[in-house]
Chains A and B, each alone.
Chain A
Amino acid sequence: MIRLFFKELFKMVRQLRSWLGPLSVFVLILVAFPLTQDIDTKFSHQTTFSFLWIISLLVIMLSTEKVFLEDFDDGSMEQHLLKPYNFSDYVSAKVTSSFLLIGIPLSCMSWLFLQSAVAMTNLNLVSLLSFLLSNFIFINFCFFGNAVSLKRGSLLGLLIITPLLFPVLIILGKMLSAALLGLDYSNFLLLLLGCSLISGPLMPFVISYILKIHLE
């Protein structure tokens, strides 16, 4: 399984456009955002954070657009089905490599942007954790959406998963407002952690079930 993970990781690293592309788009949007504001505007915390979360979501949707389609089209997905390891291992390998190559850089860049944009006293930990956990959850759900709408284009899958992501966005917003007021935000953080701990192991099984239906 570790070997499978490294194989998927290096395959993704070699396809530069699959991860550098979305990251570059993210950087460009981060640069564009302050341009739309007045030159000496003080950014409000809540707005900047929510902008970063939404843009991360969109960039992740963009990057996962054809994640299963290529393997499905050239037949390698069926090969994975026939191998001795579980099919869900293949899905987890893809999810993990996506998180490593896209999720973590997105979080770091968002954190860097925040250092430049808003006053970050006492917010460093909560911001970093919120980005890491939310990106992980977004990646899982976007993979799910793309698995469902494998041959119909990714838009349909996005239409279906976006309502499922609203609670995550709400929890993120609540966590930030609690942190801004100096209150205890650990319950929201634990909820986010729970979401990612549930979706992490569970989603690959669901996604592999759906992909098996497609392969029939």
Chain B
Amino acid sequence: MLKKFFHQFASPKSYFRIATKIQNPFLLIFVLLYVFALAWGLLFTPEDYVQGNSYRIIFMHVPASFVSQILFLIMAFCSVIFLVWRLKLSIYVAKSIAPIGAAVTFFALFSGSIWGIPTWGTWWQWDARITSTLILLIMYLGLISLHSSFNNYEKADRFFAIIVLAGVINIPIIKKSVDWWSTLHQSASITLTDAPSIDPLMLAPLFLSIFSFFGLIMGIVILSSRYEILLREQSKSWVKSL
């Protein structure tokens, strides 16, 4: 029975049906939630003692960099499912995540460098996190160009999945190795064991903005995966009868 449920859910047709239904309300809810979190952070939190008002970029920069890494992990998870079980839906989803991940990573880098101008006096610094985010962006762009350069979708999918896995194994290695540099980036304010070193007044809107930004981006992923499914399954009868 579980197999039957799995097969039913994992078909592009039923995923498309469900995705179409939930897409608009999902997006709307998370857009509103993120706007609320952003407004809370931008307007109703106190000024930072050292950085003044420019620290407020944190409510946009931190969700973006967090989401950019989570998206790569989701792509890797879908790639594993595709390579092991040959489930086409998972590679459709993975492929549709790539451009969104690239855009979010670019925004994380951009907001980080704008934040750097008043804080550090420079818009770029070769420190640990910035460099590894840049490498992540290069990987996203490489994946997109890899997939688009193949005429045959099946080969493109398999190479995409392999390179995603090679990348995801490499990301912790890159992070660890780039960490060995002397870093200008603020050491992690939120650790699992210690009390957070950031003011709780700023912590709550930060968590809310991370959560709602993630939901917002997942809404865009739903939209993008619907497009990918339509594109690939054009020849199927259920698409023609839409």
- The answer to whether A163 and B142 touch across the interface, beta carbons within 8 angstroms, is yes
Distance from B103 Cβ to chain A, minimum over Cβ atoms (Å): 18
Known contacts A156-B149, A163-B138, A164-B170; is A148 also within 8 Å of B159 by CB? yes
B202 contacts partner chain A, Cβ-Cβ < 8 Å: no
- Total count of chain A residues near the partner, CB < 8 A: 20
Taking CB atoms and an 8 Å cut-off, the chain A residues in 71-124 that contact chain B are none
As a 0/1 sequence over residues 169 to 198 of chain A, the CB contacts with chain B under 8 angstroms (1 = contact) are 011001000000000000000000000000
Which residues of chain A are within 8 angstroms of B138 by Cβ–Cβ distance?
159, 162-163
- The answer to whether B167 and A213 touch across the interface, beta carbons within 8 angstroms, is no
Which residues of chain A are within 8 angstroms of B163 by Cβ–Cβ distance?
148, 160
How far, in whole Å, are A80 and B167 apart by their CA atoms in the complex?
A: 29
Which residues of chain A are within 8 angstroms of B180 by Cβ–Cβ distance?
170, 174
B119 contacts partner chain A, Cβ-Cβ < 8 Å: no
B: contact size bracket: 20 to 34
Closest Cβ neighbor of B166 among chain A residues: A164
Which residues of chain A are within 8 angstroms of B150 by Cβ–Cβ distance?
152
- The answer to whether A166 and B135 touch across the interface, beta carbons within 8 angstroms, is yes
Task: Please choose the segment from B4-12, B45-53, B171-179, B207-215 that sits at the chain A interface, where 4 or more of its residues have CB less than 8 A away.
Answer: B171-179
Known contacts A162-B138, A163-B174; is A210 also within 8 Å of B159 by CB? yes
Distance from B151 Cβ to chain A, minimum over Cβ atoms (Å): 10
Closest Cβ neighbor of B150 among chain A residues: A152
How far, in whole Å, are A148 and B180 apart by their CA atoms in the complex?
A: 31
Per a CB cutoff under 8 Å, which of B155, B158, B159, B174 touches A167? Answer: B174
B139 contacts partner chain A, Cβ-Cβ < 8 Å: yes
Taking CB atoms and an 8 Å cut-off, the chain B residues in 134-164 that contact chain A are 135, 138-139, 141-143, 145-146, 149-150, 155, 158-159, 162-163
- The answer to whether A214 and B155 touch across the interface, beta carbons within 8 angstroms, is yes
How far, in whole Å, are A8 and B180 apart by their CA atoms in the complex?
A: 40
Taking beta carbons and an 8 Å cutoff, which residues of A are in contact with B?
Answer: 148-149, 152, 156, 159-160, 162-164, 166-167, 170-171, 174, 206, 209-210, 213-214, 216
Return the 7 tightest CB-CB contacts between A and B, nearest first.
A167-B177, A170-B177, A160-B142, A159-B142, A163-B135, A152-B149, A167-B173
Question: What are 29 A-B pairs with beta-carbon distances under 8 A?
Answer: A148-B146, A148-B159, A148-B163, A149-B146, A149-B149, A152-B149, A156-B142, A156-B146, A159-B138, A159-B141, A160-B163, A162-B138, A163-B138, A163-B139, A164-B170, A166-B177, A167-B173, A167-B177, A170-B177, A170-B180, A171-B177, A174-B180, A206-B162, A210-B159, A210-B162, A213-B155, A213-B158, A213-B159, A214-B155
